Amino acid sequence: MTANRHVELLVLLESGGGDPTTLLKRVCELCVEVCAVSGAAVTVRGNGDGTAQAVAYATDEVSLALDDLQRTVGEGPKLAAHDSGGPVLIADLATTDARWLGFTPAARAAGVAAVFSFPLQVGVVRVGTLDFYRGSAGSLSRVELRDALALADIATHAVLDDLRGPDPMDIGWLSDVHAVVHQATGVITVQLNLSMHDALLRIRAHAYAHQTPLDEVSRQIIGHHLRLETGD
C-alpha cells in the first residue's frame, strides 16, 4: 500500500462529506467500484470480545444475508478474519465446503462465489470487519488487495471516530483536546515510542473495545492504573 494511494482514496471518500457513518457508507460503495466486487459491508463489533455486533452499512441485500448467515451458523469469513486478525481471502467458495459446513452451501445457494474479509483493528483490538463478495470466482488482484487494505484502515478510523473526542486522522486537535486525553496521549507516546497520532488511536481503540469513556481510560493511564502494551 502506498501513501499516495491512501491519500487518493481519502480524497475520493471525503468528496461526499458527512459524518463517520456516511464515510462508512462511502467506503463500502468505493470498495465495489475499485475492487471489482459485487457487494460490500462493514460490521462493527464491541464489548471487547466482539459478541455485540451490527452492520453499519451494506451495499445490497446479499451482503446483509451473508452477515445474517454467519451469525446464524457461527462460522464464515468475517468471523475468521475477526478471530485471526488477518484477511480471509476465498477466491472460490467451491473449494471450502469442508472448512465451513454451515456457511458455504448456503452462501453458494445465494449466488456467492468468492468472499473476502478484512479485520478493522488497531494493534490487537478489533472493532469490526470489512467484507466483500463476488458473484463469480476470482482472486483480488494485487492492486485491488492494496486498495482493500487501505479502505479497511480508513473504515477503522471511521468506526473509532464515533467515540467522542478528536479525529485521529487530524493532528490539529492537539491544541484543543481535553487536558486529560492530551496528557494520556503524551504518556503513551513515550511508553510505546509512538507518534501522538498513533498514541491517541491506541487509547481510543482500548476505550472502544472495553466500552469505557475516553476520559476514564485517559485518567487510568495518567494514574498508572492502566498500561497499554505494545500489541494493545
The domain defined by 173-222 carries CATH number 1.10.287: no
pLDDT value for 173: 34
- Cell numbers linked to 142: 494485487
pTM (2 d.p.): 0.71
pLDDT value for 170: 40
Low-confidence stretches of the chain (pLDDT beneath 50): 48-51, 164-177
Domain with CATH 1.10.10 in the chain: 173-222
pLDDT value for 172: 39
Instruction: Compute the distance between CA of residue 77 and CA of residue 97 in angstroms, rounded to an integer.
Output: 13
> Could you give the residue ranges of the DSSP H alpha helices within the chain?
3-14, 20-34, 61-73, 77-84, 103-109, 142-160, 179-192, 196-209, 214-222
pLDDT value for 165: 46
Contact predicate 78/86, CB 8 Å: no
- Cell numbers linked to 173: 486537535
Domain with CATH 3.30.450.40 in the chain: 3-160
Instruction: Compute the distance between CA of residue 177 and CA of residue 181 in angstroms, rounded to an integer.
Output: 7
Instruction: Compute the distance between CA of residue 45 and CA of residue 52 in angstroms, rounded to an integer.
Output: 6
pLDDT value for 7: 74
Helix (H, G, I), strand (E, B) or coil at 91: coil
**CATH superfamily of the domain spanning 3-160:** GAF domain (3.30.450.40)
